[in-house]
A and B are shown apart, each in its own frame.
Chain A
Amino acid sequence: EVQLVETGGGLIQPGGSLRLSCAASGFTVSSYYMTWVRQAPGKGLECVSVIYSGGDTYYADSVKGRFTISRDNSRNTVSLQMNSLRAEDTAVYYCARGDRGLDYWGQGTLVTVSS
C-alpha cells in the first residue's frame, strides 16, 4: 500500500529554518517525481518544489534560493529544507507522488511562520 507521511512542521519565527520530511512506503521514491505542494489558509494549491527521478529539481519563484528539495534513496524519503522563512510561507505542506498526475498525497504538515 502506498503511503506518504510528512513530518517536521511547526511554529517558527520569521527568518528561521525548518526541515520537512516525507517518508514513503509501498514504492520507491527514486522511480517517481516527488512534489511538495502547499496551501495557505483559505487559499488554493501551489506547487513549491519538485524532484524528478533523474535528480533534476524545480522551485517556484516564491521559494527559489530559500528552499531546497532532496531525496534519500536509502531511507526512501524526500525532504524540503526551508530557510529564511517568511509569514507568507505559512501553509499546510503536502508531499505528493507524481506519475500520471499527483496520484498519492500525504496528510500534510502545518508550517506557521510568526513571531
Chain B
Amino acid sequence: QSVLTQPPSVSGAPGQRVTISCTGSSSNIGAGYDVHWYQQLPGTAPKLLIYGHINRPSGVPDRFSGSKSGTSASLAITGLQAEDEADYYCQSYDSSLSGPLFGGGTKLTVL
C-alpha cells in the first residue's frame, strides 16, 4: 500500500524546536522521488514550504528546514512561533500509484 505516514500531532513551546516525520517506502521516498512540505493555516489553501527535500521557496524563513534519509523525510521548525500553528503535509511521487501522494498531515500546536 502506497502511504506516507506522519504523526497526527506535534506540539512545542514558543522558541523550541519541533520535527515532523514522513515515513514512506521503496516506491516513493526510498526510490529517490522528491519530498515536498506544505503548511496549511486554518481556513486557507496550502502553501509550499520545502521542495526537493531541503529547498525553501523565496520568502520562507530559514527556521524551516527539510531533510531526507532512506525511506523517510523530516521537517524541522526552530524558534517556534505562535504563527507556526498549522497543519503540515509531506508529499512525494509514488511509482506504484504512478502519481503524487500526500501524507496524512500533522497538526502543530504551539503551547
Contacts and interface: CB of A to CB of B under 8 A. Distances in A.
Interface of A: 35, 37, 44-47, 50, 58-60, 94, 96, 100-103, 105-108
Contacts of B103: 44
A101 B34 contact: yes
Interface in B35-62: 36, 38, 40, 45-48, 50-52, 55, 57
Interface of B: 34, 36, 38, 40, 45-48, 50-52, 55, 57, 87, 89, 91, 98-105
B57 A103 contact: yes
B45 A45 contact: no
A94 B45 contact: yes
The 10 closest A-B pairs by CB, nearest first: A101-B51, A101-B36, A58-B99, A44-B105, A105-B45, A47-B100, A100-B51, A45-B102, A101-B48, A103-B48
The residue among B34, B45, B46 with the most chain A CB atoms within 10 A of its own CB is: B45
Nearest to B104: A44
